[in-house]
Amino acid sequence: MSPKLLRRAVEALDSFNVETPSWGFADTGTRFGKFFQDAAAIDMNDKLADAGQVHALTGCCPTVATHVLWDFIPGEDPKKVVRLSRKHGVKLGAINPNVFQDQCYKWGSFGNNDPKIRQHALQHCLDSIAIMKAVGSEYLSLWFADGTSYPGQGSIRERKGYFEECLKALHKKLGPKQTMLVEYKPFEPAFYATDIADWGMAYVYSKKAGPKSKVLVDTGHHYSATNIEQIVAWLLDEDMLGGFHFNDRRYADDDLTLGSIDPYQIFRIFHEIHSFSADRGRMPKIAYMIDQSHNEKPKVEATIQTVVIAQELYAKAALVDHEALRRAQAKNNVIDAELILKKAFFTDVTPALGVWRKANKLPSDPLAEHRRSGYEKKAAADRRARRKAMGITRGGSFA
- Residue ranges per domain, the chain? 3-388
Report the candidate in 187, 207, 182, 208 with the shortest Cα–Cα distance to residue 197.
187
Q: Are 121 and 109 in contact (CB under 8 A)?
A: yes
- CA–chain centroid gap for 166, Å, is 23
* DSSP 3-state percent helix, strand, coil across the chain (nearest 5): 50, 15, 40
pLDDT of residue 399: 39
Fold held by 3-388: TIM Barrel (3.20.20)
Helix axis angle for 3-14 and 299-317, nearest 10°, is 130
CA nearest neighbour of 269 among 235, 308, 223: 235
Q: For the chain, what is the mean pLDDT?
A: 96
pLDDT digits (tens, 9 = 90+) for 90-143: 999 999 999 999 999 999 999 999 999 999 999 999 999 999 999 999 999 999
Q: Nearest-CA neighbor of 243 among 281, 285, 212?
A: 285
Distance CA 28, CA 50 (A): 15
The reported pTM is 0.96
**Residue 395: pLDDT band with limits 50, 70, 90:** low
pLDDT digits (tens, 9 = 90+) for 221-239: 999 999 999 999 999 999 9
pLDDT band at 34 (very low <50, low <70, confident <90, very high): confident
pLDDT at 398: 44
